[in-house]
Amino acid sequence: MVDPFAAYPDQDTPPDRLWPFMLAHLKPFRWVLFWATLFTLGVALVEIGLIHYAGRVVDLLEGSTPAAFFTAHGAELLLITVFVLLARPVVQIVDAMFLNQALMPNIGTLVRWRAHRHVLRQSIGWFQNDFAGRIANRVMQTAPAMGEAAFQVFDALVYSVIYFLGAMVLLGGTDPRLMIPLAIWVVAYALLMRWAIPRVGEASKAFSDARSTITGRIVDAYSNIQTVKLFSHAEAEEAFAKEAIEAGRATFARQMRIVTQMELGLVLVNGFLVVSVIGWSLLLWQNGEATIGIVAAASALVLRLNAMTGWIMWALSSLFQNLGVIREGMETIAQPIDLLDQEAAPALAVTGGEIRINGVSHHYGRQSGGLNDVSLHIPAGQRVGLVGRSGAGKSTLVNLILRFHDPEQGRIEIDGQDIASVSQDSLRRAIGMVTQDTSLLHRTVRDNILYADPSASEERMIAAARRVKAHDFILDLEDRNGNRGYDAQVGERGVKLSGGQRQRIALSRVVLKDAPILVLDEATSALDSEVEAAIQEALNDMMRDKTVIAIAHRLSTIAALDRIIVLDEGRIVEDGTHGALLEQNGLYASFWHRQSGGFIGVDAAE
C-alpha cells in the first residue's frame, strides 16, 4: 500500500520539532492509519460486546433448565458462535495486517531511506564535526523507533481509549453508579501516567544519547585499530569505552527506577478498581438492583481492565521511550543542509578548465588559519604546483575549489562560471582528485575503480589499471571468500591492501574518470621509487591537455610543472617556474636547498 522509496520533495531544512517531524514521515501512511483506526475500533467494540454478552448468558442460565435454555436460545447461540469463529477473526486479522504488514515494515524503511539521503547531502565539514559511528547509529535506531511509536499509538493507545469508553457505556447502561469508581480510577490512572511517562521519555532520551556515545567511542577505536595497537593503547581505549558504558548503565538504571515506581502506582490504582467495581456490583445484587449477569460482566470487565493497564502503561512507556530515541536521532538527521545548491542551479560547462580565484578568504569560522585574501589565475591546461609548510592553506584552497566549503569572502570561477552558482555534483564530476590518504570503499576492486564511471566497459577499466601499473598486482589479489582479481574485496577503507596498492587503485579510478581538471595531493607519496618513476610517467601523460593542481612536499615531483605557487600563512608569497623561484632565492629556494630525502622542512629554524 505504501512505497517507502517513492519520490518526495527534498527538505533542505527538515522540521526540528518532534510532532511535525513525525507527521512529515507519516504522511504517506495516512490511508493506512485511517483504516487501521477503524479496524482497531472494531476490535475493541467486539471484545466489549462479548463481555456484555457473557453477562447476558449468565442471566439466561439463571433459573433455566438445559433443555429449555437451548430450545429458547439455540439459534442465538449459533449466530454468536459463527460470529466468534468467522467474523471476529476477520476484523482482528485485517487490523493486524494494516499494522504489521502495511505500516511496520514500510515506515522504518521510509525513515531510514530518507534519513540516509538527507545525511549524504551534508557537507564534508558537517561529517568532520561528528563520529561516523554515531551518525550511522542515529540513522539506524530512529527508523525502528518511528515504526514502534506509530504501532503503539494504534495497537495500545487507540485501542485502550475505545475500550475505556466502551467500559463506561457498558457499566453505565447497567447502573450509572458503577461508572463512579471507574471514573475515579481513570483519573488516578491518568495522573499516574502524567507523572511517569514524561520522566520515562526524558530518561529514555538520556539513555539513547549515552548509547550513541558508547557506539561512537567503540567505532572510533575499531576504525583506528592500527593506531591503537601501534601505541599500545588498548587499556586506555578500554577505560575510554568503560567510562561511556558506565554512564549508559547509570542512565538506564535511573530509567528503570522510574518504571518500578510506575508499576507500584499501577498496582495500587488497579486494586482500587477491582475492589470498588466488583464490590459495588455485589452490593447492588444484594439489594436486588442488579442481576448475577451484571455482576459477572462487571467482574470480567474490570479484571480485563486490570490486565490491560499494565500492557497499556508499558505501551505508553515504550511510546515515550521511542519518542526519546526519535528526538535524539533528530539531533543528527533533522539538521538543515549547510551547503546548498542555488535553486535550479545549472550544470558546470567546462570548455577549457580555466580557474580564477578572486579575493578568497576562509578561516573555518575562526580568526586565523585557512586563506587570507588569495587571488590566483590558472589558465586552461596549465599545470600548477602548490607548495608550503603544513597549515599554509594548500588543502583549504583545494577544498574551496571542490566546494567542500563556501569561502567566507571572495569567489571562485571555472571557465567564467561562479562555482557557487552551479550544481555541486557537476562541479565535482569535472574534477579528478587523488589524495595522500587514500580511502577505498569496502567493496570489490572492480567496484572501487568503476566508482569513477559505473558505465565504463571492462576493457576501459583494465586499461586504466594498466596505465598506473595496477593490473598485475590486482590479478594476484584473493580475499578470504576465495574471490580473486578484480572481484576481491579490499576491506574497510582498503585495509587489506598496502598503501601503494591502495594509491594505484585510486589512481586507476581518476584515470577512468578522465576529468578536465586534475588535483593531485601527494599522489605518489605511498609508492616506492621504482613504481613511482613508472607512474609519474603515466601521470605526465594523464596531465596532458588538463588543468592540473598538484600539492607536493617532495619538490622533485612538481619541479617540471609549468608554474609553482608558494603559500605561507594563508597568502601567496611566490609565483613562478621552478628555475625562476630558485633564482629569487626566497622561501621556495630555501625549501629546495633544505630538503632531505625530498621533503620540506616544517620548522624554518632547521
pLDDT tens sequence across 167-224: 788 777 767 777 888 888 888 888 887 888 778 778 877 887 888 888 888 888 887 8
Cα 362 off chain centre by:
29
Report how far residue 118's alpha carbon sits from residue 336's, in angstroms, rounded to the nearest whole number: 9
- Cβ atoms of 181 and 272 closer than 8 Å: yes
Show Cβ contacts of residue 21 under 8 Å, excluding neighbours closer than 6 positions: 14, 15, 326, 330, 334
- Cβ atoms of 284 and 294 closer than 8 Å: yes
| DSSP calls for 356-372 | EEEEEEE-TTSSSSSEE
Q: Is the dihedral of CA 128, 129, 134, 140 positive or negative?
A: negative
Report how far residue 577's alpha carbon sits from residue 119's, in angstroms, rounded to the nearest whole number: 43
267/321: higher pLDDT: 267
- Max distance between CA atoms of the chain, in angstroms, equals 123
Report how far residue 224's alpha carbon sits from residue 220's, in angstroms, rounded to the nearest whole number: 6
* Domain chopping of the chain, boundaries: 18-333, 345-430+515-606, 440-502
Report how far residue 592's alpha carbon sits from residue 560's, in angstroms, rounded to the nearest whole number: 14
Q: Which three cell numbers stand for residue 411?
A: 569567489
> Is 70 exceeded by the pLDDT of residue 228?
yes
> Is 90 exceeded by the pLDDT of residue 596?
no
> Is 80 exceeded by the pLDDT of residue 466?
yes
DSSP 586: S
Q: Which residue has the cell 447497567?
A: 174
327 by Cβ neighbours in 10 Å (0-12 / 13-18 / 19+) ranks as buried
For 286-342, the pLDDT digits (tens) are 888 777 888 888 888 888 877 777 777 777 777 777 887 888 889 888 999 888 888
Q: What is the mean pLDDT of the chain?
A: 85
The CA-to-CA distance between both ends of the chain, in Å, stands at 71
Q: What average pLDDT does the segment 379-384 reach?
A: 94
For 420-454, the pLDDT digits (tens) are 999 999 999 999 988 877 778 888 999 999 999 99
Q: What average pLDDT does the segment 28-57 reach?
A: 87
Report how far residue 423's alpha carbon sits from residue 414's, in angstroms, rounded to the nearest whole number: 13
Selection from 437, 429, 443, 501 nearest residue 472 by Cα: 501
The predicted pLDDT at position 441 comes to 87
- Cβ atoms of 378 and 549 closer than 8 Å: yes
- Cβ atoms of 178 and 281 closer than 8 Å: yes
305 by Cβ neighbours in 10 Å (0-12 / 13-18 / 19+) ranks as buried
Report how far residue 107's alpha carbon sits from residue 327's, in angstroms, rounded to the nearest whole number: 17
- Cβ atoms of 205 and 328 closer than 8 Å: yes
Show Cβ contacts of residue 216 under 8 Å, excluding neighbours closer than 6 positions: 131, 133, 134, 137
> Is 60 exceeded by the pLDDT of residue 22?
yes
Report how far residue 317's alpha carbon sits from residue 152's, in angstroms, rounded to the nearest whole number: 10
CB atoms within 10 A of CB 571: 14
The predicted pLDDT at position 428 comes to 92
Q: Which of 40-49, 213-222, 520-529, 556-565 has the lowest mean pLDDT?
A: 520-529
> Is 90 exceeded by the pLDDT of residue 4?
yes
Residue type, 411: R
Same fold flag, 18-333 and 345-430+515-606: no
The predicted pLDDT at position 605 comes to 38
Q: Tell me the CATH class for 18-333.
A: mainly alpha
208: left (phi over 0), alpha (psi -120 to 50) or beta: alpha
Confidence of residue 529 (pLDDT cuts 50, 70, 90): low
Question: Looking at beta carbons, which pairs linking 488-493 to residues 24 or more positions away fall under 8 Å?
Answer: 488/444, 488/445, 489/442, 489/443, 489/444, 490/440, 490/441, 490/442, 490/443, 490/444, 490/445, 490/448, 491/442, 492/223, 492/442, 493/223, 493/439, 493/440, 493/442
The predicted pLDDT at position 55 comes to 83
Q: What average pLDDT does the segment 48-67 reach?
A: 82
The predicted pLDDT at position 181 comes to 83
Confidence of residue 365 (pLDDT cuts 50, 70, 90): confident
Confidence of residue 468 (pLDDT cuts 50, 70, 90): confident
Q: Which residues pair with 566 in a beta bridge?
A: 387, 574
| DSSP calls for 448-487 | HHHTT-TT--HHHHHHHHHHTT-HHHHHT-B-TTS-BGGG
% of the chain with per-residue pLDDT over 90: 33
For 494-513, the pLDDT digits (tens) are 677 877 788 888 889 999 99
Confidence of residue 531 (pLDDT cuts 50, 70, 90): low
- Angle between the 179-223 and 292-333 helix axes, to the nearest 10 degrees? 30
The predicted pLDDT at position 521 comes to 84
- Cβ atoms of 565 and 386 closer than 8 Å: yes
The predicted pLDDT at position 583 comes to 92
Confidence of residue 83 (pLDDT cuts 50, 70, 90): very high
Superfamily the domain 345-430+515-606 falls into: P-loop containing nucleotide triphosphate hydrolases (3.40.50.300)
The predicted pLDDT at position 530 comes to 62
Residue type, 202: E
Q: Which of 122-131, 367-376, 589-598 has the lowest mean pLDDT?
A: 589-598
> Is 70 exceeded by the pLDDT of residue 126?
yes
Confidence of residue 525 (pLDDT cuts 50, 70, 90): low
Q: What average pLDDT does the segment 380-406 reach?
A: 91
The predicted pLDDT at position 369 comes to 75
